[in-house]
Structure 1
Amino acid sequence: MPATALLELGVLVALFTAYNVIRAMQGTDVDAALDHAHSIVGAERWLFDHVERPLNHWLVTVTVLAVPACYFYAVFHYVATPFVLFRSWRIGGWVYRRGYWTIVLASAIALVVYARYPVAPPRLVPDLDSIDVMRRFADYGWWGEAASAPRAIGDATNQYAAMPSLHFGWSLWCGIQMWSFGARRWRIAAVVYPTLQVFVVIGTANHFALDVVGGAACVLVAIGVVWGVRVLGERPWRSDGRDLDRKAVQHGIPAGCVEQ
């Protein structure tokens, strides 16, 4: 296996390990998580009262939508994200490099927030009148009271890591990558997938709207950094549209000493 591939694999393994360790360790400060959740509700009061909670209460009454929504929340991001990353790798070039480092950086940013700012999801805030849709329909799947975690290991997961929503963040990342694939079917999927994810994470009361915004911010900041690094890396070689400086360096002449 090439050294670059080993490095990328090692980064992913380290990130996955850190993700699980931090999420597991930061689930004990319930009071802080509830306080932060109330702060979020205060910031988006009208939206929560008129959109988020009504959607949640409606979804739980429509079993034919609620059950697929539960499975979508529990499964799809674990399937779609690796698949899109693999597809990006098959394409290679900038599409893959941008995608790989964007998702790594976005996830790392989210981990810092999880460690510093625990937030309870709406379904775990007693006075919000939100309904835990996944718990209500637990008999249809493997999950219990801890969101999508299997019943036997619910205590091992941190339920107070709602901000940012990486469910949405990863779906937005998938959308950006799929849009770059070019074909019409990919671009349709690029719009549909993140849109469905917003509906699901809010409708099941697993996230506030601001959690979704937070997930989007992680991805957009990460992709901005990746683009910035690329631009800075290329700038020294640009010279009124020609590669004179690069050719000079290749021949042992200091950059900028070539007459244009």
Structure 2
Amino acid sequence: MSVASEERPAPLRELALIAALWVAYSLGRLVADGRVDEALVNADRVWEIERLLRFPGETGLQHLILRAGDLVQVANSYYAYVHFPATIGFLLWVYLRRPGHYRAVRTTLALLTGAALVVHLMFPLAPPRMLAETGLVDTGHLFGPSVYGTPGTDDLTNQYAAMPSLHVGWALLVAITLIRLTSGRRRWLWLAHPLLTLLVVVGTANHYWLDAIVVSVLLAAILRLTTTAERRPAPPPVPHPRRIRGGGPGRRPRRGSRPRTTRVPGRP
């Protein structure tokens, strides 16, 4: 059995673990739902903070997308259909091709998702498409495809959990890991995935710039934690006791054998 196969976790257990984590996260988001007034107040605060810090306006980026014809539908499709398949495909690739790094990657993804859930619970936030003063529109509902229903009747998702953006966080983790685990100059092209994701989530008015900054800080802290744990040397193996072969002071005589005596010269 190769070393890689020994380091690869059992597939059924991993599937069950990932499914359990996703169910827990989804239920947690639904628990955080219903705090609409608080989420809208926080949205006003985030919008004001970004203007105070002179962040580039989300409105300008959306106007560029809207002027580009079919580009808005491409952006909506990227938001709706790339997020989960890309992350699942990435985990499968690490599991099959770099099994020695899989546990650390899976743990990082789980910790990042859990940290995002804590922020959702502590700081509910309405996306910018719900604030009239931003001048932004809901591109998903206007041009399709959309992954969300009407906020008042959508019982499957929590639309007031914009902070932080897991779309950006997961895409950034995918890019960083693939850059670390592959070689060649072209590996830096993986950064296009989080960059496109950032432009998409902001241009479609699903997230603020600040949502991406917060998730990047969380990911940096978690990567530092998991990387340190991965580099920690394993304890040396305990040697198994072995029977001493050949003559020696610790050897026991065989049954029925007479102990050897040393013959002194000159004596019979």
SS of alignment partner, residue 250 of structure 1: coil
Return the alpha-carbon distance in structure 2 between the equivalents of residues 12 and 186 of structure 1.
30
Kept after mapping to 1: 8 A contact 2:178/2:190: yes
User: Within 1, Cα distance between the matches of 2:40 and 2:81?
Assistant: 26
1:37-186 maps to which residues of 2 (within 5 A)?
37-45=43-51, 50-138=56-144, 141=145, 143=146, 148-149=147-148, 154-184=154-184
Deviation at 1:228, TM superposition (A): 2.5
1:56 positional shift: 1.4
Equivalent position to 1:33, from 33, 39, 44: 39
Between the two proteins, the alignment pairs up a number of residues equal to 232
Per-residue deviation, 1:58: 2.4
Displacement of 1:206: 0.5
Q: Which runs of 5+ in 1 are unaligned?
A: 238-245, 253-260
Identity value in percent? 31
Residue 241 of structure 1 is matched in structure 2 by none
Amino acid at match of 1:205: A
Identify the range of structure 1 (48-57 vs 153-162) with the bigger mean alpha-carbon deviation.
48-57
Relative to total residues, which structure has the larger helix share, 1 or 2? 1
- Report the CA distance shift for 1:3/1:61 in structure 2 as closer, same or farther (over 3 A): closer
1:250/1:5 Cα in 2 relative to 1: closer, same or farther (>3 Å)?
farther
Contact 1:130 1:205 in 2 (8 A): yes
Verify the 8 A CA contact 1:85 1:100 in the aligned structure 2.
Answer: yes
- Distance in 2 (CA, whole Å) between partners of 1:129 and 1:48 is 17
CA displacement, residues 130-186 of structure 1 (integer Å, 9 cap, x when unaligned) = 121112203xx3x3xxxx2368x8442111010010000010011012213414486
Aligned residue number for residue 221 of structure 1:
221
- Partner residue in 2 for 1:20: 26
Q: For residue 96 of structure 1, report the CA deviation from its aligned partner.
A: 1.8
Residues 51/222 of structure 1: CA separation in 2 closer, same or farther (3 Å cut) = same
Look up the match of 2:239: 250
Gaps of 5+ in 2: 1-7, 242-268
Amino acid of the residue matched to residue 90 of structure 2? V
Q: Give the superposition deviation at 1:78.
A: 1.2
Aligned AA (1:229): A
| Change beyond 3 A, Cα 1:224–1:123 | same
Rg comparison, structure with higher value: 2
TM-score by length of 2: 0.78
One-letter amino acid matched to 1:40:
V
Q: Answer yes or no: is the 8 Å Cα contact 1:56–1:203 preserved in 2.
A: yes
Matched residue, 1:258: none
Distance 1:104 1:155 in 2: 24
Instruction: Output the aligned Cα RMSD.
Output: 2.5
